[in-house]
Chains A and B, each alone.
Chain A
Amino acid sequence: MNQVSMTAMQRVLTTLGHREPDRVPFFLLLTLHGAKELGLSIKTYFSTPEHVVEGQMRLLAKYRHDCLYSFFYAPVEIEAFGGEVMFMDDGPPNSGEPVIKTHQDIRSLTVPDVENTPCLARVLAATRGLRDRVRDQVPIIGVVMSPFSLPVMQMGFDRYLDLMFEQPDLFSHLMKINQAFCIQWANAQLAAGATAICYFDPVSSTTITTRKMYLKTGFEVACQTLAQINGPTATHMASGRCLPILQDIAGTGTAAVGVSCLEDIRAVKAACKNKLTVIGNLNGIEMRRWSVEQAENHVKDLIAKAGAGGGFILSDNHGEIPFQVPDEVLMAISDSVHRWGKYPLPTDVSGKE
């Protein structure tokens, strides 16, 4: 397909169908840059849904990319469980002291009521606001932490690994609580207008877990959870590796996978062919010191390696672009996709005769 101009929604749906749209779709997964656009501190920016709606709309107009991101910050879910969120001036809010301090805390943990939890209600209101602004023209990406990865913030990574290896009963109990929450949270976002849900699951990556362990844990959790989410999902490894488990990830029912810059994108694309759309994999950490020329070269290289045949959305490798990445670099990425990403891909990008 080579229409002159599709809407962002048509473009993304076409590539998800493993066909070539008018150009390579790209997601600039920006959260904090909205605050910069509005001249607000990060804490003030996230204090009302109207700020996020306005910030996302300005970023969409400025960078001409292909999604709106209703994601506020990862610890919003920890806040819902009664935990602390630490705001910073120059980075994403971070989770504070773990909410689970003892094993007894797991037994007494209850599922937050999504509609009546103020921090989650703000995200839902922002999602509705975005939906009102763009209707079906631009996909709105909602976010959940996977039940399997959320405990890193709930109890600390080291204690979570201890639990996983040494307390299988308590681990199962925690998964049940988290699954109930995750399903409710994802479906509320879809009902508010999110087009798809990004299921962040870095603990399932082979960077963190062996495939053997994954099949017994994160895979099972994902299969059960995704089956109860009433809309399309994309699984994101948030910089973790996943090449050895791509076929398993495809088996969880997800439509796309966010992959690491540590992996060969050609190999990833080949393994995902006609099963999963690949999202990735620009290096967001390095991006903050790229020149305009470097940004263009990285985009060009990525399109050349992964663009052909659709099934590819150009993005960063973590699912959130750092606050320190300058506007010039983001603009260079955008300009480069618009220049080099038109289908059929130009000869000097694809290498075809």
Chain B
Amino acid sequence: MDDRDKMLNAFERALLDVDRLAARQVMEQRGRDMRPIRFVEKVVLPVLEQLGAGWQDGSLALSQVYMAGRICEELIDEMLPPADPSRKNQPRMAICILEDHHALGKVMVYAVLRSGGFDLLDYGVVGVDDLVARVQADRVEVLLISVLMLPSALKIKSVRQKLMDRGCDVTLIVGGAPFRFDDQLWQMVGANVMCENASDVVPAIEKIMEEKT
């Protein structure tokens, strides 16, 4: 096992044990040659991705993945404050919950993206018309929508239609329980991408960035 594997294992163990101190130790002992953004790319994101996959296959619980994301977000916010130039060049992004007060999915995706060095607007809980107006005003290029209930998922179709009516070219990334129970639903509502868990979002955005360049 090389040093990076040891670091990955130690970081994963710390997150699963909800041990902030141990996670911080791994970060602090990473060595001088590993810049913060490199630590994010080589340790934080791979571990979060692994935990997300564990949740998807049923071997881990959502509470573990959620607490891991929270700890990572706290650590990375210290290393890379919001205005830090090391935070990534990226499309303009926003995240929201559509007509629902169940915030867990949005909080997790937000934490993973912040842990990955991304910045994004947080619209909180919004209705369809308000969302469309804000996306247009903020010139958002990538919109992430989290839902828990089926009716909210179905309303994304209306968001897509209204964005098109206003000439807004927005990439829609969706996620949440209804999409996991029906693998055709994301396409039916006009989304571009569906993420099965929070850590799928980073590779999805990186792919979008690649396609845009």
Contact = CB atoms under 8 A, between A and B. Distances in A.
Given A207-B62, A286-B181, A324 B154 contact: yes
Given A97-B101, A262-B58, A324-B154, A158 B66 contact: yes
Contact of B181 (A94, A95, A285): A285
Interface in A204-258: 206-210, 213, 239, 241
A156 interface: yes
Given A285-B178, A286-B181, A91 B61 contact: no
A295 B103 CA distance: 33
Nearest to B125: A97
A262 B18 CA distance: 27
A90 B101 contact: no
Interface string A250-275: 00000000000110000000000000
B149 A92 contact: yes
A165 B65 CA distance: 13
Contact of B63 (A96, A210, A322): A210
Given A158-B107, A283-B181, A285-B181, A210 B100 contact: no
Contact of B182 (A210, A213, A285, A323): A285
A210 B61 contact: yes
Contact count band on B: 20 to 34
Interface string A187-218: 00000000000000000001111100100000
B184 A208 contact: no
B53 interface: no
A94 to B, nearest CB: 6
A226 to B, nearest CB: 22
A173 interface: no
B57 to A, nearest CB: 10
B61 A94 contact: no
B182 A283 contact: yes
A309 interface: no
A13 interface: no
Nearest to A214: B61
A344 interface: no
Contact of B61 (A207, A262, A322): A207
Contacts of B103: 156-158
Nearest to A92: B149
A284 B150 CA distance: 10
A241 B149 CA distance: 18
A96 B61 CA distance: 26
B102 interface: yes
A241 B56 CA distance: 11
Interface string B153-192: 0100000000000000000000001100110110000000
A29 to B, nearest CB: 15
B40 to A, nearest CB: 22
Contacts of B177: 239
Interface in B54-73: 55, 58, 60-64, 66-67, 70
A289 B184 CA distance: 10
Interface residues of A, number: 36
A96 B102 CA distance: 9
Interface string A155-169: 011100110110000
B159 to A, nearest CB: 16
A289 B18 CA distance: 41
Nearest to A284: B181
Given A210-B61, A285-B185, A94 B100 contact: yes
B54 to A, nearest CB: 11
A91 B101 contact: no
Nearest to A285: B181
B102 A157 contact: yes
A98 interface: yes
A324 B182 CA distance: 14
Contacts of B61: 206-210, 213
A88 B104 contact: no
B151 interface: yes
B116 to A, nearest CB: 19
A285 B185 CA distance: 9
Interface in B61-119: 61-64, 66-67, 70, 100-104, 107-108
Given A94-B100, A261-B181, A241 B154 contact: no
Interface of B: 18, 55, 58, 60-64, 66-67, 70, 100-104, 107-108, 149-152, 154, 177-178, 181-182, 184-185
Q: Which 8 A-B pairs have the closest CB atoms?
A: A91-B151, A157-B104, A285-B181, A158-B107, A285-B182, A210-B61, A286-B182, A208-B62
Interface of A: 88, 90-92, 94-98, 152, 156-158, 161-162, 164-165, 206-210, 213, 239, 241, 261-262, 283-286, 288-289, 322-324
